[in-house]
Amino acid sequence: MTTKVQTYRNYRFKQKVIPYIFLTPNLIIFSVFIILPAIIGILYSFTDRTLFTFGSANFIGLENYVNVFKDEFFIKALKNTIGLVAVTVPLMFVIALALATLLKQPIKLVGFYRSVYYWPVMISAIVVGIIWQWILAGNYSLFNTTLDSIHKLLSSLGVVSGDFESSPTLSDARFAWVSVVFAIIWSRSGYYMIIFLAALLSIPETLYEAAEMDGANPLQKFLFVTFPCLKAARVMVLILVTMEIFKIYPLVVTFTGGGPFRATEFTVQYIYEMAFRHYQVGFASAMSVVMLIIVTTFSGLIFFTSKRGENQ
């Protein structure tokens, strides 16, 4: 009798301990490589630590934070990044949703289209940068020579006159910036398309039939049936894209290198260079904390505005 009770107690004890044991490897890695860096980063931001300070560094209060907002290059990188978020997030949202809507139509070869649109997602950001630099950079790029031949064709038809002036290249600040937006959307829209497509396919067909009986046109069907049903997917895509654009870096490394004249330099690149090229870890950490606050605020805003909409 006692052995049975003991076995049962033993079992109960095991059931309590075992889940923690199974969680241990992951929790250790998370604590050491995700949570601890954030905490250390916050602590560093109040010191004059460099990359090669291994003992204790001097506490300098808010000096780094004051300097961060005096640093014109950081302000420029921050403006670039927020501008990029403001432009790319809505564009990505609309294009991904448009692609998903397109593939929901009863067309042939849907599987093929879906694969082709998704395929750039598999290419590393580094290679995406190489690909687009190869197509866009220089006066004799594919892009430029294609524009040239289109111009020749049009002028032979008498539509335009005069010689073709080379299109702007990546050494033009505005063109480089727009190209970055384009490359991001090219490489990532397939991913968000899939999220939307799954949500679209899960909307019951009966809702559309009911709307049709009430005499709704396609636009009304989209606005009053499709869009409200996509709620969860919409919030998810918005948060994921926003996070992704805020931490954009590898693509820029091989595409524009941040140039010309810092026109496409975004905050992660600037933080990296401040820490690893100028060794100013304390100063860089203050920028990291500023970034963390901004990123959290943005995703929090998206999350809570969507929550509020729910209650109405």
Partner 1 sequence: MRNKRQVIIAQTISTLVVVIFLVPVLYTILSSFKGMAELFSTAPTFFPRQWTLANYIHVLSTGRYGRYILNSLIVATTSTIIAIVINTMSGYALAKFKFKGSTVIMIVILSTIMLPLEIFMAPIFKIITFFGMYDSLWAIIIPPAATPTGIFLMRQYLLTIPDDIICSARIDGASEWQIFTRIILPNAKPAIATLAIFSFMWRWNDYIWPLIAIYSPEKYTLQLAIANLTGEFGTDYTSALAISVFSMIPMLIIFIIFQKQFVQGTVESGMKG
User: What is the C-alpha to C-alpha distance for residues 177 and 256, in angstroms, rounded to an integer?
Assistant: 9
Q: Exposure pattern of 199-217 as b/e (b: 16+ CB <10 Å)?
A: bbeeeeeeeeeebeeeebe
Q: Which stretch binds partner 1 (CB under 8 A): 64-72, 86-94, 135-143, 172-180?
A: 135-143
User: What is the C-alpha to C-alpha distance for residues 305 and 238, in angstroms, rounded to an integer?
Assistant: 12
For residue 296, state whether it binds partner 1 (rule: CB under 8 A).
yes
> Site residues for partner 1, window 138-157 (CB under 8 A)?
140-142, 145
Q: Which stretch binds partner 1 (CB under 8 A): 78-86, 207-215, 238-246, 304-312?
A: 238-246
> Site residues for partner 1, window 31-50 (CB under 8 A)?
32-38, 40-41, 44
Handedness of CA 248, 264, 233, 209 (dihedral sign): negative
Would you say 62 or 198 has its CB closer to partner 1? 198
For residue 247, state whether it binds partner 1 (rule: CB under 8 A).
yes
Count residues contacting partner 1 (CB under 8 A)?
90
For residue 158, state whether it binds partner 1 (rule: CB under 8 A).
no
Would you say 43 or 312 has its CB closer to partner 1? 43
∠ at Cα 46 (39, 76), nearest 5°?
95
Shortest Cβ distance from residue 312 to partner 1 (Å)? 25
Tell me which of 6, 51, 152, 278 binds partner 1, using CB under 8 A.
51
For residue 133, state whether it binds partner 1 (rule: CB under 8 A).
yes
For residue 85, state whether it binds partner 1 (rule: CB under 8 A).
no
**Counting beta carbons within 10 angstroms of the beta carbon of residue 7, is it exposed (0 to 12), middle (13 to 18) or buried (19 or more)?**
exposed
Place of tokens 């009911």: 210
User: What is the C-alpha to C-alpha distance for residues 299 and 243, in angstroms, rounded to an integer?
Assistant: 7
> Site residues for partner 1, window 198-227 (CB under 8 A)?
198
Structure letter (DSSP) for residue 59 = B
